Amino acid sequence: MRSNWHWVLVTAIAPVAWGSNYFVTREFLPAESPLWGAVIRALPAGILLLALARQRPKGHWWWRSLVLGALNVGAFFALVYVASQLLPSSTAATLMATSAAVLLLFAWPLLGERPTIVAIAGTALGFAGVLVMFAGPGGSIDPFGVLASLGAMLLSSTGFILAKRWGEGIPLLALTSWQLVAGGVLLVPFAIAIEGSIPAPDAPAVAAYAYTTLVATALAYVAWFAGLRHLAAGTVGLVGLLNPVAGVALGTLVAGEVFGPREAIGTAMILAGVLLGRKTRQPLRQAPTHQDLTHRQRQAAEVRDG
């Protein structure tokens, strides 16, 4: 139990950093450069972690790194950047809270963690809360920002589950760095073709990029993947609720964003749905077979030789 709480606290670093990053991106980074913003966020962080890990991919981890980099970093960072510019920080962070319920559902076919009927009901309640938040009059919520946020959530949820499934036996820093480098490299040609030359940031933007790269990416991703390695996917999703807590707090207290009754009701429904959906049925642990042990030994040998 004490060990689980230790990993819960480590994992919590990630959603708090991500929640604060909505405010930093919206207030200090250029709105017209989402692709370059994603590259600057991912590539330096990946190179830094790769220098610490001192280990390159080998074998099937070349294509796995590309897949995970595209899902968890490339497309995800670009869409989050767009969402951060188009939506209030509290709204963007609250939308990402639905990832906890999606992680529960995706863990069923990919990890064998089957959700109960109560978990499915919780997911429905969470998405109903999203509809409540954005169904009112006034047109203050940008639909493209909503689509970008939900797209980022779905892609990253898939990528996180795959990282948990594939990452056994791979050192944590290496696993994280490969994804960040791959995602950043994949984004570079799109950034050049669509946005042209890399933007020249002013002093506040330099500080914001440093925070985004070092804290909201390098540190946060190591903490998040550490949680996925040591905790069940549903538990990690629950810890992710700190994302909207941080986003709402900064949006309302620092940026002065309006958070009225309709938004409060929708947020409460989302959080209640995710908490309800936390009730999962965990698969029974079985003793490893000879084939499992041989596969793990082969993975360890590949990592050591690589």
Integer Cα distance of 23 and 88 in angstroms? 8
Average pLDDT value over all residues in the chain: 81
**Residue showing tokens 């550490």:** 226
Q: What is the pLDDT of residue 31?
A: 84
- Tokens, residue 59: 């074998």
Which H or E run includes 280? strand 280-281
In this predicted model, what pLDDT tens digit does every residue of 94-114 receive, in sequence order?
Answer: 777 777 777 877 777 777 777
The length of the chain is 306
In this predicted model, what pLDDT tens digit does every residue of 217-267 receive, in sequence order?
Answer: 999 999 999 998 988 777 787 777 777 667 767 767 776 666 678 778 877
111 burial via Cβ count (<10 Å: 0-12, 13-18, 19+):
middle
The stretches of the chain forming alpha helices (DSSP H) are 2-28, 34-53, 61-69, 75-86, 89-96, 99-111, 117-134, 143-166, 172-195, 203-213, 220-230, 233-239, 242-253, 261-276, 290-305
CB distance 28 to 84 below 8 Å? no
For the CA atoms of 183, 184, 186, 189, the dihedral, rounded to the nearest 10 degrees, stands at 160
Integer Cα distance of 292 and 75 in angstroms? 33
Q: Which residues pair with 284 in a beta bridge?
A: none
A 10 A CB-CB count for 266 gives 23
Integer Cα distance of 82 and 92 in angstroms? 10
**Residue showing tokens 């939900």:** 150
Q: What is the pLDDT of residue 299?
A: 55
Q: In this predicted model, which residue has the larger pLDDT, 45 or 110?
A: 45
In this predicted model, what pLDDT tens digit does every residue of 80-89 receive, in sequence order?
Answer: 888 888 887 7
**Residue showing tokens 């929640």:** 19
CB distance 23 to 254 below 8 Å? yes
Q: In this predicted model, which residue has the larger pLDDT, 21 or 291?
A: 21
